[in-house]
Amino acid sequence: MAYERIPKTLALIPDGNRRWARMNKLSALNGYSYGVNKFIEFSEWCVKSGINNVTVWAFSSDNINRPRREVNALFRIYEKAAKDSKIIDMLHGNKLRINIISNPEVVPKKLVAALKGIEDETAEYRDRVVNILLGYGGREDIGFALNKMKRMRSFSVSEFSKNLMSRTIPNIDMIIRTSGEMRLSGFIPWQSTYSELYFSKKLWPDFTKRDFNMALAEYSKRERRFGK
> Which of these is catalytic: 63, 163, 171, 213?
63
> Kind and range of the H or E element at 36?
helix 28-49
Is 188:169 a contact under the CB 8 Å cutoff?
yes
Q: What residues contact 20, with CB distance under 8 A and at least 6 apart?
A: 31, 34, 35, 203, 204, 205, 206
Whether 164 and 88 have beta carbons less than 8 Å apart is answered as no
117: how many CB neighbours lie within 10 A of its CB? Answer: 14
- Helix, strand or coil for residue 51? coil
- Exactly one of 15, 53, 131, 173 is catalytic; name it: 15
- Annotation says 206 is catalytic: no
Query: In 186-227, which ranges are E strands?
Result: 196-199
Residue 174's nearest CA partner among 134, 136, 143, 218 is 218
Phi, psi for 83 (deg, rounded to 5): -110, 5
Question: At residue 78, what is the residue type?
Answer: Y
Q: How far apart are CA 145 and CA 163, in angstroms?
A: 5
For residue 63, indicate whether it is catalytic: yes
Measured CA to CA, the distance from residue 213 to residue 219 in angstroms comes to: 10
Any idea which residues carry the catalytic annotation? 15, 63
